[in-house]
Amino acid sequence: KAAEEGIWNFSTYTEKEIFDIPQVIENVFSGRIDFESKTIKNETLQELQNHDIEKIEIIASGTSYYAWYIGSYYLKELWNIPTNITISSEFLSDTFFPDKKTLYVFLSQSWETADVRESLKIVKEHGCLTFGIVNVVGSTIARLTDMGLYSHAWVEIGVASTKNAIAQIAIILMMALALWQKRWLQHSISRGIIEEIPALWDKINKILLNTHKIEKIAKEYAGFKSLFYLGRNILYPTSGEASLKCKELSYIHSESYSAWELKHGPLALVGEDFPCIFLNTKSKFYHKTISNIQEVKARKGNILWVISEGDTEREYYTNIIEVPETSEYLSPFVILPAMYLFAYHISQELWREIDKPRNLAKSVTVE
Ligand code: M6R
């Protein structure tokens, strides 16, 4: 919206693509969700309900893998279906046990990723049911899957995937909501999420309009050699995606870890020169993560806390990035745009080639 109004002069495609996120989310949901009846209206997802599916296996790489990992919580918790996550190159090098009651979902924004394409071929050879989530209309591999959905994120020029990742997460959420309808029609959590979706546009716009606040904080972190991203449950893969974007755009070493696992080794790394970025907005694990934050604080660690707006438990941080409050299911939709801006501004500070980071290509077309 800001872009349409000409308020912003984007200096890179990546920046513009981050600012496209609210519009992309609207594209994914509009026409597919009936907000009045709080139901999903989509032929493909309705058709999917007619299949006898007992398990989901999703295969993807890079950001698509993290998008799927985040989405796996929707499928497990909303659809109540066992779900497994596999990196496409590992799928290719592992033993495959074909299962006719498993839905194999392939996530790729480009459909050019060789490992994903080869994995799909193997699954198809065994006659298993395949589903594709893809951004490029008419791509060969999109045609190879039995059914699928387009993410409608338009062209993404920046090598670092931003708006596309969000579109993919939105699609998985919609899948989980649609398939849930079949089992527990009008369940309150499902209806609650659908009710909350329209407010996302404004919430994300608010984060984008605060880009200068995030820039100020990012500048403080541009001088560190390593950054540690931590979260629990759905915020664990969210931290993985945030960390990947930081590596890719800024060339700063970053790692993501489950906050739960700190004491099993990585706590030894923590000190003043190794900042910990805690993704800890309101959720069922909020207080458990605060105990991890306290552990880091006790070791004089630098803490950047990504926190829900209005949160009052703020005594432990070095810096905070506030994001509007959402249910925990929707929290990646507000945290990731903030983390994309954070990585973006660090990279700007370091004069990186933001749209085309060194050594990387938009699509990895060879195995
Ligand atoms: O086109 P794909 O979604 O299959 O690409 C997978 C990864 O190569 C891609 O997500 C990569 O990790 C991004 N550059 C990350 O921003």
Task: For 235-249, write each residue's pLDDT tens digit.
Answer: 999 999 999 999 999
Q: Rounded to an integer, what distance in angstroms lies between the CA atom of residue 202 and that of residue 121?
A: 41
Report pTM. 0.93
Q: Rounded to an integer, what distance in angstroms lies between the CA atom of residue 194 and that of residue 34?
A: 9
Measured in angstroms, how far is the CA atom of residue 109 from the centroid of ligand 1? 7
Please report the beta strands in the chain, taking only residues with DSSP state E, as ranges in sequence order: 33-34, 39-40, 55-60, 83-87, 102-108, 129-134, 147-150, 226-231, 253-258, 276-279, 303-308, 319-323
Measured in angstroms, how far is the CA atom of residue 116 from the centroid of ligand 1? 11
Compute how many other C-beta atoms are within 10 angstroms of the C-beta atom of residue 36.
Answer: 6
Q: pLDDT category, 250, cuts 50, 70, 90? A: very high
- Name which of 111-125, 200-214, 237-251 the model is least confident about: 111-125
Residues 6+ apart with CB under 8 A from 351: none
Measured in angstroms, how far is the CA atom of residue 322 from the centroid of ligand 1? 28
Average pLDDT, stretch 331-343?
Answer: 98
Average pLDDT, stretch 218-233?
Answer: 96
- pLDDT at res. 321: 95
- Name which of 110-124, 185-199, 202-216 the model is least confident about: 185-199
Residue 345 has pLDDT above 70, yes or no: yes
Residue 4 has pLDDT above 60, yes or no: no
CA-364 nearest atom, ligand 1: 8
- pLDDT at res. 189: 82
Encode 146-180: b = buried (16+ Cβ within 10 Å), e = exposed: eebbbbbbeebebbbbbbbbbbbbbbbbbbbbbbb
pLDDT digits (tens, 9 = 90+) for 74-117: 999 888 889 999 999 999 999 999 999 999 998 887 767 888 88
CA-112 nearest atom, ligand 1: 1
Q: pLDDT category, 41, cuts 50, 70, 90? A: confident
Residues with CB under 6 A from ligand 1: 61-64, 108-110, 113, 116, 159-161, 244, 248, 363-364
Please choose from 17, 59, 64 the residue to mutate so as to test ligand 1's pocket, defined by most ligand atoms within 8 A of CB.
64
